[in-house]
Structure 1
Amino acid sequence: MEKKMLPIYDVERDIVRALLDSKNKGRLIIEAPTGSGKSTQLPQILIKKNIIPSGEIVILQPRKVAARMLAKRVAEEVGCKLGDDVGYQVRFEKAVSKKTKIRFVTEGILLRQFLLDPTLSSVGAIVFDEFHERHLQSDVILALALELQNKNRSDLKLIVMSATLSTSRIAKYLYPCSIVKCSGRTFPVEIKYINVNLKVKPIWDVITDVMKKEVVKSDLSGDILVFVHGAHEIRKTIEKLRLIKHFKDALLIPLYGDLSHRQQEIALEPSDKRKIIISTNIAETSITIDGVEIVVDSGLARMASYDRVRGINTLLVDKIPESSADQRAGRAGRTSPGKCFRMWSEVDHSMRPKELLPEILRLDLSEILLTLFASGVTDVDSLEWLDLPNKSGIDRAKNILVSMNAIDIKTGKITNVGKKMASYPVHPRFSRMIIEADSRKCLQEVVLCIALSHGREIFTKKIQLNKCEFSNKNDISDFQPIMRAWLYAYRANFDLKKCQAYELNAKVSRESYLIAKSLLNVAGHSEHNFKDLRPDVSGENLAKVFLVGFYDNLFRKLSKSTMSCELVGGRKGKLVKGSLASDSNVSVAAEVNEIEGKEVSIIISKATAIKIDWVKEIFQDQLKEVEESRFDKGPRRVVTDTTLKFLDLILERRPCSQVSLSSASKILTSEIINGNLRIKGWGDKCDKWILRMNFVSKNYPEYDIPEFSENDKGLVIADFCDGAVSYKEIKDKPVLPFLLKWLSKVQEETVKRLAPERIKLLNGKEVAIIYESSGPKISIILQRLYDVNQTPSLCEGRVPLKVEILGPNHRPVQTTTDLQGFWRESYPNIKKQLKGRYPKHEWR
């Protein structure tokens, strides 16, 4: 489509007029659908119309793939080399120069620019593209940019763009501002819901079934865009689709973030052959793929989230919101009418949220908080936020930064260590590790470990590190064999064949080198190279550095056979098989991941063995020694230990000879109440007595008999356990005497009198009374009721007893509280039915 035909040009005059109107303070919201040309054409319009006379135009993109591809597209359109007038910059990669006027960047790049140049003196306009995704950093940048514009840079233009945006709310936030809406020229897309169960069959099999039934059987034409949630799913889907004869001449093209630049570009290029593009959600926004007429949508995506209970940053597979589903469907209607097959039901769709919860309300805030403190913002509430961050999230982030000595706990201000940490384009954990590594003379090793933690695994398949040829018997860290493997690739100049011979990923190894080299440059050690890397001798220092950065991932092994572990924060997980930390009781993990299956489980990996003396050396103030009593399931008794704790994690236990009797009583009581211990003395007699007490309490309030509750049961058992330390001492001990002590002697006799165990009927026969929560009753064979014409009762006639009447076979034939009515109305029929079956019994 020619530039002038793109829908964004229909509102070009409105855009120019709005940005030149001083009443709007240079603030503009553009609402334009997918494919309208807003991402590529707006910066060109701003340049052509001289809206930004000085300074560059910075376009924020949520994904590095989009930033690079859009920059390449715009550079081609304006006829310049990428990196000249038009460029891009993402983490550890850039193509910019002094001539650059249009710069596409990921959010973290501009956030770091705020640190280096708080007034953004070289920036004339900031364009927030795809703002509806509400990334954490874009929210922060917008808040900082608004404050900057209000205080120092009234000339700074702020433009917020989105295909799906709640304009009224953002307009209120940006007030005063203009709103320009571009209707677009999309074609109708027919939506079909296909209710499939993705838990029964793998997603690639389900997609294959949908393609056969909906595309092949109906002989639909046009390029196809398939949305799944990960690279593995993309590869498996391509394998399955290759087996369909109908697609034998089609190009099956993967599209996801970790592909090479060239592989990503193939998806966008026109082709004479039919294209079937299997993509993650990077094809949902910003990137426009021409020719797509069919969308097959799994309705899933990997979404960044933070589990506050477990303290884990994680990417979890989840259902996309309605706004994302609309974006995906819109891809099929850019150039002609299209079809979208959604692999979920209409009911499911109606229950999905309209939009995702903003990241600022669901992610770890420590990196953002450090950046804000470094830029002079110490009071987060002082900024005008579109959504105010949760206080709990801010407090947790502060605690992490205080523990890393980045924030002074007394003054609440950033420390020199914190300022230095903020200068690194990595998470505070890693920046703190770099500073620690520099002081411990293992900087090269640590920056390489950080680089190796940023992308895909260096090995092309899963391996057990303790059995691979790069491991050493003296290794204490999983990173040591990984570093040796990388060193082999480095010395082989990342040669593809040589790397493949050892099942190493040459591309990942090279990318790790570039990241590590960049970090060395920031650290001021550009003279270092990695030829003298020392994986063999750096174990202890490496461990101490990881302990500083990942102190809250310290864990203790609970079982050597199952590798179950307990981490700081009470989290439970399993150490991966083959870890070099397997033999250590205490270790620290660089990765703690949630894995989804039938249940969400925690997998601990990239671990390093730790000696308790090292924890004492580094975190003396966070250690505490306390006496703790617990129930030991082996001897089934309460024992008392002296425990050494780091935060809430027990590092070691030492047994004490003396056990506190009061603690023992509480622990034994808890074990009984929770059902872990069964006491034989609490039987039917105890339960009956409680029912009798509560019966009198309810029906004779004048006697002040207290109601006995579940909480009272705990008090009785505590009294029962008093003086004991083992299960053996209490398992056969009778409980009833302790239960009787609940009442005074007078009250006890009152209960026995008013709620007797047995009652004498009018015919002289005695029968046991059954006390239930619903009321008392008797259960008696019909023949024993002869001559009893009145319903027996308790409480001086206040409470009639329910009478469960049994046949000769001891089965109930009727339950009543009206014996006179029974004999008159029911008995004749019952007699008629039973007399023939039981002729030997008395029948009157």
Structure 2
Amino acid sequence: VDEAHERSLNIDFILGILKKLIHSRRDLKVIITSATIDTEKFSRAFDDAPIIEVSGRMYPVEIRYRPLDPEEEEKGDFTYVDAAVRTVDDLKKERKRGDILIFMPTEQDIRETCDLLEGRHYRDCAILPMFARLSWSEQRRVFQPMTTQKIVVATNVAETSITIPGIRYVIDTGMARISRYSPRSRTTSLPIRSISRSSADQRKGRCGRVQHGICIRLYAEENFENRPLFTPPEILRANLAEVILRMLSLNLGDIETFPFIDPPGPRAVRDGLDLLQELGAVEKGGRTQEGSTESFRLTQSGRRMARLPIDPRISRMILEAQKEGCVEEVLVIASAMTVQDPRERPLEQAQRADQVHAAFRDPTSDFMTLLRIWNHYYGQRDSIKTQNSMRKFCREHFLSYRRMREWRDVHDQIRMILNEQEENTKPVRETISDAQKLTDDIHKSILSGYLSNIAVKQAKNIYTATKGRQLMIFPGSSLFNKGGNWIVAAEIVETSRLFARTVANIDPGWLEAVGGDLCRYTYAAPHWEKNRGEVVASEQVSLFGLVIVAGRPVSYGRIDPETSARIFVRSALVEGEVKQNLPFLEHNRKLMASVAEMEDKIRRHDLMADEEQIARFYEERLPGIYDVRTLQKLIRDRGVDGFLRMKEADILKSLPDERALALYPDECASGKLRFRFSYRFNPGHPEDGVTMRIPVHLLSRAPAEAADRSVPGLYREKINALLRVLPKEYRKKLQPLAETADIIQIEMPSGEGSLPSLLGKFIHQRFGVDIPASAWPLDKLPDHLKIRFSVVDAQGREVAAGRDLSQFRTEMLSAEESAVFARARKVWGKTGLTKWDFGDLPEEIPLESRGTLQGFAYPALQAVEGSVNIRLFQTRAEADAAHAKGITALYGLHFQQELKYLKKSLVLSGDMKVWAAAFGGHKILENRLYEKILRDLFCVPVRTAATFHQQAEATAPRILPRGQDVLREIKPFVQAYHETVATLRTFESSHRFNEPAKQFLKSVREDLDRLVPPDFLMQYDTERRGHIVRYLKALLIRAERGLLHLEKAHAKASEIKPFDEFLQETLKHLTPGSSVEKRQALDAFRWMIEEFKVSLFAQELKTPYPISRKRLEEKKHEIERMA
């Protein structure tokens, strides 16, 4: 065994086999030779074998040490490259003859050194690089004789692998890339490390073969002495998978007991076995006899892989290719991966080489690039017969002819082995027309061998690989800066950083099928899936720590039946989340809904059994059932589902009081309409309490106040709550509040009006306590005591909701009308009418949709310029107001001639014309008189053609007389108003420079304007106008006397002011929801104030009824009690 010092895997493996063999073959002699061997270690390994030392035929070699300055080297100011070049400079100055060999650790260092040396322009000197990837033609130059001096810059390939003739000088940097495999990270690194002393001696020996030599070491002698004697053997720094596979195949026993010179560590052995398990080559085979470690045996695939003398990863690829039907293609790629890259890139033609090689590149896969090179090469080989032509072809395409032949030889050898073993190497595909399918199959086969070399993209060219490693695609790859989201690499090598070499994009969808038992499955968030009718979990699949499938929904029943059954019962049966029709569940739902409704009504949550009790009901009857399918099968097998139907006893913890339930009705009646109530007991929720459902088209008819009284069950609680939040001044007069609430609940009669009005009136009568309606803080009531109104559209969708119906009623009524109302409006609407020829007009019409009453609309005549229209209104009030004007307008069209005469008869003259000036002129007053007469004559509730014509016939003779009657009736009023205005003007003129008098007269003028507004004729009837004549006289007396005694006038005015302010403020805050009772009371209060003014300022005019400050106070309190 020669060159044993190299300690390659093969050498150590062979030595181990020989050691075992010599014990059974005594006639076998083993000779181990090397120039720099660790003789003592080898001798001990072979039972203290004898050591024979043979002196070599070497010339003396002088060793010179020229260490670098550590600080300069650390900064990068002066590196070993600079030191080597300076050393050459020195040798050239000494005019030393002989060739120079410089050892550099990397190709980059060689190129940099060569560039610097070329820049020196030495005479008669050839500078030659030497490294393994160099093209054969460039390597050959190193060995050719030259008349000039050769300076060879080489890696450690020149230590032992080759002998370069004529070397006299060696410049040794003492560094080299030394391959090292890390079992922990499964990474092969190529760090630059200091070489061993034996390697340094090997380099020294390169220069003493032809003459006296000089070895210049660019490091200190002390550094040399401190280095290890030998380089660690490859078996201590390599992946042991192939060694273990061979040993198992050859029955050489356990690797841990095999007689290696340097046995590998347990971690390295474990990693090799793990890789073989990953590849499916070995399986656990029980315990060894000692019972210390597990033993392994080859699988069927492992035996087939062991027959191929290649890396187990590559042999696994070939086996997978047989299943995928792409053996031919994978054989080409596999054989390429066992030899050196055939592409050449000469330094002086690097750009041209890149251009030519670009034709071979596959942008998605370096493996397919190799296949393209092969196909291109052998496509030409069939047409080019001679070797010289093939060599020329290789040169033109920057391919190494020697490596191409080596590639073919390896390919043929693997094919031959497969054929001998009768393995299928033919494609099983019927056709290869589907190129993408073929490409996918090839990469699936590659994945089977390099599954632990997958990586997922994190940034542009940065990937996370297995075991948490961060790597980059190697710059020489076709995928550099263009890689997909997932890649697989043939090599993961660490140099300046961790690189993935020979890379391809992959579909992550392949990984689970290829990974098989290596995939790890975890499940999260098991939940019920209604549409699938089963419990589903989110499945995550990971491979060597990388997530390859995330969030995939899978059936969870078979994975965890117990948990699935629990979820199924609670989600599907208790919560009712099932899509399928299950009659027993519908029965149970209705039963629970009725109980839940009872609870919501009486606001208790202690009637129905809790979810756990209901779940137990099902669990006791459905053991092991975790989906709808198995449930339905069980029911079919039993024939009935009665065993799953609940009874009240199964879900009721206590029975409710029937009388209490009766206090919570299901609907609110308003005439012919019914508004449904729903109940919810959920404090804090927007729907807590009672909700009245109002179709949007019935919003105007929703009885807000009646709704409040329609739920007696809330009344007592509401009364109690209102009493508790009353201001203290009222609350203390009603103590004890609980007793007061009982009395109100029992004795207060029901009636029209709001609850505050009814309460105020009853408490005033029963307890003598005067409480204004505004003192009842309805806003402080808990929400569940205030009816919630829900407005819904035709489809039943809620469009508005709130506790205060008046807030959104106005907005909703002015919003777009419902479809039913819009259709009815189109049917009933008519325009351009000038006579009653359209039939009868009902007061209301029902709105129906699909046979269901949706509400009512109100037809009316609407006055427009020159005609009238028929139009539908949503509220009766709107319709009545429009109809009154419409009827008047239609009669106006009917009596056009008669009304012309009426207008002429209303022309004012004499005193009336003069008095009319106070109203803005006689024309204005004439027009107002005309409008007044039309309303008096024609504003009647006419709805039929017959009534219209009867009324017309009866009214015709009254038109002109009515005009004269109105003139007579208003004459005293017009005269009184004229005199009042004229007198005030006189007073204002004579006191124009008296500021206090001016202010007093201004207040009198304001009272006059309020008393006689522009539409006084429409506002006041004959009786009220008679009273106003008296008020006008009192106003003049007030003005006349007030100017004489301003202080007295102001004092009397101050008595009126609080009542006047109360009236104006209350009128200002009236809302559409304010009661009719309150509006009427305010109107009466206004005239009481006027009578009080008469009693204060003009007692001689008398009042029609007794009036005083006290009476006004009482009326004020009465109004305050109203809502």
TM-score, normalised to structure 2, is 0.42
Name the CA distance, whole Å, in 2 between partners of 1:543 and 1:238: 41
Cα deviation 1:303-356 (Å, max 9, x = unaligned): 121123321124333221122112212332334332211122344334422222
Cα distance, 1:450 vs structure 2? 2.2
Aligned position for 1:319:
194
Tell whether the 8 Å contact from 1:430 to 1:450 is kept in structure 2 after alignment: yes
**Secondary structure at the counterpart of residue 189 of structure 1:** strand
Tell whether the 8 Å contact from 2:105 to 2:156 is kept in structure 1 after alignment: yes
Q: 2:464 aligns with which of 566, 575, 585?
A: 566
Cα distance, 1:288 vs structure 2? 4.4
Q: 1:209 aligns with which of 86, 105, 115?
A: 86
Cα deviation 1:105-126 (Å, max 9, x = unaligned): xxxxxxxxxxxxxxxxxxxxxx
TM-score, normalised to structure 1, is 0.54
Q: 2:341 aligns with which of 447, 450, 456?
A: 456
Shifted more, 542-551 versus 264-273: the winner is 264-273
2:87 alignment partner AA? V
Tell whether the 8 Å contact from 1:557 to 1:563 is kept in structure 2 after alignment: yes
Aligned position for 1:132:
5
Shifted more, 565-574 versus 324-333: the winner is 324-333
Alignment of 1:152-191 (within 5 A): 153-184=25-56, 185-191=58-64
Cα distance, 1:385 vs structure 2? 2.5
Tell whether the 8 Å contact from 1:193 to 1:345 is kept in structure 2 after alignment: yes
Identical aligned pairs, as a percentage? Answer: 26
Aligned position for 1:353:
228
Q: 1:644 aligns with which of 541, 544, 565?
A: 541
**Secondary structure at the counterpart of residue 11 of structure 2:** helix
Aligned position for 1:404:
279
Would the alpha carbon gap of residues 252 and 445 (structure 1) be closer, same or farther in structure 2, given more than 3 Å must change?
same
1:136 alignment partner AA? L
The answer as to 2:108 corresponding to 1:220 is: no
Q: Which has the higher contact order (CA 8 A, sep 6+)?
A: 1
Would the alpha carbon gap of residues 375 and 165 (structure 1) be closer, same or farther in structure 2, given more than 3 Å must change?
same
Alignment of 1:26-425 (within 5 A): 127=1, 129-151=2-24, 153-184=25-56, 185-195=58-68, 197=73, 199-200=76-77, 204-212=81-89, 214-231=90-107, 233-246=109-122, 248-258=123-133, 267=142, 272-285=147-160, 287-410=162-285, 412-425=296-309
2:513 alignment partner AA? E
**Secondary structure at the counterpart of residue 157 of structure 1:** coil
1:626 alignment partner AA? T
1:604 alignment partner AA? A
Aligned position for 1:478:
366
2:493 alignment partner AA? N
**Secondary structure at the counterpart of residue 413 of structure 1:** strand
Cα deviation 1:63-113 (Å, max 9, x = unaligned): xxxxxxxxxxxxxxxxxxxxxxxxxxxxxxxxxxxxxxxxxxxxxxxxxxx
Would the alpha carbon gap of residues 490 and 167 (structure 1) be closer, same or farther in structure 2, given more than 3 Å must change?
same
Cα distance, 1:143 vs structure 2? 1.0
Name the CA distance, whole Å, in 1 between partners of 2:8 and 2:378: 36
Name the CA distance, whole Å, in 2 between partners of 1:381 and 1:605: 32
1:172 alignment partner AA? R
Name the CA distance, whole Å, in 2 between partners of 1:606 and 1:349: 38
The answer as to 2:595 corresponding to 1:595 is: no
2:341 alignment partner AA? R
Name the CA distance, whole Å, in 1 between partners of 2:91 and 2:182: 40
Aligned position for 1:614:
510
**Secondary structure at the counterpart of residue 190 of structure 2:** strand
Aligned position for 1:770:
none
Name the CA distance, whole Å, in 2 between partners of 1:477 and 1:437: 17
Cα distance, 1:201 vs structure 2? 6.0
**Secondary structure at the counterpart of residue 176 of structure 2:** strand
Q: 1:518 aligns with which of 403, 413, 419?
A: 413
**Secondary structure at the counterpart of residue 52 of structure 2:** strand
The answer as to 2:654 corresponding to 1:654 is: no
Would the alpha carbon gap of residues 431 and 534 (structure 1) be closer, same or farther in structure 2, given more than 3 Å must change?
farther
Cα distance, 1:241 vs structure 2? 3.1
Would the alpha carbon gap of residues 218 and 363 (structure 1) be closer, same or farther in structure 2, given more than 3 Å must change?
same
Structure 1 or 2, whichever has the larger Rg, is 2
1:292 alignment partner AA? I
Would the alpha carbon gap of residues 343 and 535 (structure 1) be closer, same or farther in structure 2, given more than 3 Å must change?
farther
Name the CA distance, whole Å, in 1 between partners of 2:120 and 2:458: 50
Aligned position for 1:540:
440
Tell whether the 8 Å contact from 2:189 to 2:495 is kept in structure 1 after alignment: no
Name the CA distance, whole Å, in 2 between partners of 1:580 and 1:437: 27
Aligned position for 1:674:
none
Cα distance, 1:435 vs structure 2? 1.6
1:163 alignment partner AA? A
Name the CA distance, whole Å, in 1 between partners of 2:136 and 2:484: 42
The answer as to 2:382 corresponding to 1:487 is: no
1:227 alignment partner AA? F
Name the CA distance, whole Å, in 1 between partners of 2:321 and 2:507: 18
Name the CA distance, whole Å, in 2 between partners of 1:210 and 1:554: 46
Aligned position for 1:551:
451
**Secondary structure at the counterpart of residue 352 of structure 1:** coil
Tell whether the 8 Å contact from 1:284 to 1:327 is kept in structure 2 after alignment: yes
Cα distance, 1:517 vs structure 2? 2.8
Cα deviation 1:502-550 (Å, max 9, x = unaligned): 66555544443333233222222899899x9997652111121111100
**Secondary structure at the counterpart of residue 161 of structure 1:** coil
Tell whether the 8 Å contact from 2:133 to 2:344 is kept in structure 1 after alignment: no
Aligned position for 1:427:
311
Name the CA distance, whole Å, in 1 between partners of 2:279 and 2:53: 47
2:486 alignment partner AA? V
Tell whether the 8 Å contact from 2:461 to 2:481 is kept in structure 1 after alignment: no
Tell whether the 8 Å contact from 2:454 to 2:486 is kept in structure 1 after alignment: yes
| Aligned-pair Cα RMSD in Å | 3.7
Would the alpha carbon gap of residues 202 and 433 (structure 1) be closer, same or farther in structure 2, given more than 3 Å must change?
farther
Q: 2:522 aligns with which of 626, 634, 637?
A: 626
Cα distance, 1:499 vs structure 2? 5.3
Name whichever structure is richer in strand by fraction: 1
**Secondary structure at the counterpart of residue 31 of structure 2:** strand
Tell whether the 8 Å contact from 1:464 to 1:579 is kept in structure 2 after alignment: no
Cα deviation 1:32-88 (Å, max 9, x = unaligned): xxxxxxxxxxxxxxxxxxxxxxxxxxxxxxxxxxxxxxxxxxxxxxxxxxxxxxxxx
Would the alpha carbon gap of residues 495 and 644 (structure 1) be closer, same or farther in structure 2, given more than 3 Å must change?
same
**Secondary structure at the counterpart of residue 538 of structure 1:** helix
Would the alpha carbon gap of residues 455 and 291 (structure 1) be closer, same or farther in structure 2, given more than 3 Å must change?
closer
Cα distance, 1:440 vs structure 2? 1.8
Cα deviation 1:722-748 (Å, max 9, x = unaligned): xxxxxxxxxxxxxxxxxxxxxxxxxxx
1:183 alignment partner AA? S
Cα distance, 1:370 vs structure 2? 0.7
Tell whether the 8 Å contact from 2:456 to 2:464 is kept in structure 1 after alignment: yes
2:438 alignment partner AA? S
Would the alpha carbon gap of residues 208 and 533 (structure 1) be closer, same or farther in structure 2, given more than 3 Å must change?
farther
Tell whether the 8 Å contact from 2:493 to 2:499 is kept in structure 1 after alignment: yes
Cα distance, 1:238 vs structure 2? 3.9
Name the CA distance, whole Å, in 1 between partners of 2:285 and 2:550: 33
Cα deviation 1:656-697 (Å, max 9, x = unaligned): 9xxxxxxxxxxxxxxxxxxxxxxxxxxxxxxxxxxxxxxxxx
Would the alpha carbon gap of residues 482 and 137 (structure 1) be closer, same or farther in structure 2, given more than 3 Å must change?
closer
Shifted more, 254-263 versus 441-450: the winner is 254-263
Cα distance, 1:424 vs structure 2? 1.8
